[in-house]
Structure 1
């Protein structure tokens, strides 16, 4: 794609990066064929190719250009950032990186209405601090009938008890784990089950309480500077353990994992953190990347439960781990039912299900129809956002796949 940036513009790092990405696009339109929002809305501006044109016009225009409007922001807001288009693209366009640039620019130039700003600020403050989130979650469970509808369905009646978690010092092999911000409240058993599972494989998880939210929520809501501050804080928290030989940083939420794997890219221009961020990204591993390399036969799982696996976009498109969980579950004896259009997003997408509830609900219901077509006993997934969003429909029960494996081992 041809660009028309001025020499002055090209002195700016974000414009240089945008030009690099834009010039890889040949506007073939293959991306639209797999874009969930384009499939629902049929509007070119709600597909990747149209959004790329909108961002190109935005970035090439002057600050006082009255063609840049809230309508441009609407179409960028509607993007799920699922990266399905990147899996489809034959030219390797790094669309999500361009989207981060475009969203930051539109946020700077077209201020949101006060109500939208307040909603986004509240979401960030509610979700990124685990202690605060747990307190608010408990309050929401107590007064659930009074909670607004688009939040009410995200409140589980009661999470599965976490059970006992093994100690962190008994094995020679040691790894770190991102505990997460909302997962400890919504599904505390997920990380506990992971610790028990790795303990059986002679791997200890070292808790690092100073590490908090990965920063993805801030980025979802266009508070990118705050997101980078969280990245730096997490790197500082993990670094002493990395220097002591921690083998990996394990994530059980694929959205967090995809984001941490980009720390190196997002902090590449930070002279203090660039090298450390690259190291952290290299150590970041989804739990399936650990398990698939271990002797699973030693777990002696004997299980025939019928499961439908929902592969989150952040696992299959961002981390390129499509088929990895399915392979582990099949090896362990689980029966997986077929899922049509498994590449499509469920509509969770971080905070998308709150900021774009109508589209998110349509995508969720379509996804559940596909998941339930094979009559599974249980739906399993690999991301807390997807898990909560799908479970909010109160149809087939939804759990993290690691919890199901851990339960089978306990029998």
Structure 2
């Protein structure tokens, strides 16, 4: 696509990347065929090709408005279009630049800005979030259904983690909302890894991965969180930690981009690149180990929801399914497994109507094979799907740990 950025656009961070992405697009429209919002709304401007045109117009000095922001906000950042694109267009990198540009040149109304600031201030702080979650759970009968449905139906307490005792060790990103919403997930991962001779070494100073800030109009705040995490992990990396494990695929996708996002930071570029090299989704670690020694009892019938951040961002589609099948679980078929469930970070809060429609469509597909449980690999997807009150949804590592007697 012929492109000429305006002088103002050339001053934006990532301008050269945006120009490269725009030039790579050949207008074929294959992306619209797999875009969840285009499938729901049928509007060209709510598909990747239309959004690319909107961003091109804006970055070339043309008109843009609140309508432009609305169509960009409706994007789930699921990256399904990238999996589909025959030209290798890295749409999400253009979207990051486009969203930053419109926030700079046409700031949001104050009420929208306040809501997003509130979300950032609560969701990315585990202690604050846990306090609000406890209050909400106690007051659940008094809450409106739209809010009560966001609270987890069941929240197993975190069981004891094994003390570090093996020569092999990994770090683990604890996350921000997961310790509150599903406190047993990371503990279950630590127990399964321990059975395989791998210890999880805690690094309490590492916090939110930064994705929440970055995708809620505070990109620099998100990058600052990335820098703090790098600082927290670095001593353990130098001491020989094999990898940095994420049990939430959304966090994993973001940490794997630290190297790209901090490429121009002279103080952090090399360290960020190393952290991204070491970042592993939990399934990447487990599939490389002799899982047959675990002796998992078979019999459970599961449907697996592969999060967009796992299959489209990290390119690990079918990886968890292969591990679960290898351990003896029965997996039911899931039609249109490539489509987003509508969680997408805070999307279920900022775009509730679209999010609910996508959730219900996804649950219809997941339940079509009559599973006992639905398994997934991301806390956002887990909470969002479970909020419908239908088939229970759990993290896959908890199901494995439970089968092992954990």
What's the TM-score, normalizing by structure 1? 0.97
Distance 1:319 1:199, change over 3 A: same
Q: Is the deviation greater in 214-223 or in 348-357?
A: 214-223
The alpha carbon displacement at 1:217 in A equals: 0.4
The alpha carbon displacement at 1:11 in A equals: 6.1
Give, in whole Å, the separation in 2 of the partners of 1:37 and 1:277: 33
Give, in whole Å, the separation in 1 of the partners of 2:143 and 2:105: 33
Uncovered stretches (5+) of structure 1, i.e. residues with no partner: none
The alpha carbon displacement at 1:13 in A equals: 4.6
**Contact 1:151/1:354 (8 A) holds in 2:** no
Is it true that 1:192 corresponds to 2:179 in the alignment?
Answer: no
Give, in whole Å, the separation in 1 of the partners of 2:161 and 2:312: 32
1:160 to 153, 156, 160: 156
1:292 to 287, 290, 312: 287
Other structure's SS at 2:205 match = coil
Q: Is the deviation greater in 243-252 or in 105-114?
A: 105-114
Instruction: Encode CA deviations 1:176-201: one digit per residue, 9 max, x unaligned.
Output: 00000000000011000000000000
Other structure's SS at 1:410 match = coil
The alpha carbon displacement at 1:222 in A equals: 1.4
Give, in whole Å, the separation in 2 of the partners of 1:347 and 1:375: 21
1:327 to 322, 325, 336: 322
Other structure's SS at 2:14 match = helix
The alpha carbon displacement at 1:158 in A equals: 4.1
Match of 1:384 in 2: 379
2:97 to 94, 101, 104: 101
Match of 1:225 in 2: 220
The alpha carbon displacement at 1:131 in A equals: 0.8
Instruction: Encode CA deviations 1:101-160: one digit per residue, 9 max, x unaligned.
Output: 000111111121222111111111110011111011001111124445443211114411
What's the TM-score, normalizing by structure 2? 0.98
Is it true that 1:236 corresponds to 2:231 in the alignment?
Answer: yes
Match of 1:14 in 2: 14
1:407 to 398, 402, 405: 402
Instruction: Encode CA deviations 1:51-72: one digit per residue, 9 max, x unaligned.
Output: 00000111111xxx6x311000
The alpha carbon displacement at 1:406 in A equals: 0.3
Give, in whole Å, the separation in 2 of the partners of 1:156 and 1:6: 47
Match of 1:131 in 2: 127
Instruction: Encode CA deviations 1:307-355: one digit per residue, 9 max, x unaligned.
Output: 0000000000000000100000000000000000000000000000000
Give, in whole Å, the separation in 2 of the partners of 1:249 and 1:124: 24
Distance 1:100 1:409, change over 3 A: same
Q: Which runs of structure 2 are paired with 1:111-122 in the superposition (5 Å)? A: 111-122=107-118
Other structure's SS at 1:330 match = helix
Give, in whole Å, the separation in 2 of the partners of 1:403 and 1:161: 12
Other structure's SS at 1:174 match = strand
**Contact 2:6/2:59 (8 A) holds in 1:** no
Give, in whole Å, the separation in 2 of the partners of 1:94 and 1:146: 45
Other structure's SS at 2:199 match = strand
**Contact 2:372/2:391 (8 A) holds in 1:** yes
Give, in whole Å, the separation in 2 of the partners of 1:141 and 1:12: 43
Match of 1:250 in 2: 245
Instruction: Encode CA deviations 1:217-246: one digit per residue, 9 max, x unaligned.
Output: 011211101000000000000000000000
Provide the aligned length of Structure 1 versus Structure 2. 406
Q: Which runs of structure 2 are paired with 1:166-177 in the superposition (5 Å)? A: 166-168=162-164, 170-177=165-172
The alpha carbon displacement at 1:304 in A equals: 1.2
Is it true that 1:47 corresponds to 2:47 in the alignment?
Answer: yes
**Contact 1:371/1:379 (8 A) holds in 2:** yes
Give, in whole Å, the separation in 2 of the partners of 1:407 and 1:127: 28
Give, in whole Å, the separation in 2 of the partners of 1:103 and 1:127: 21
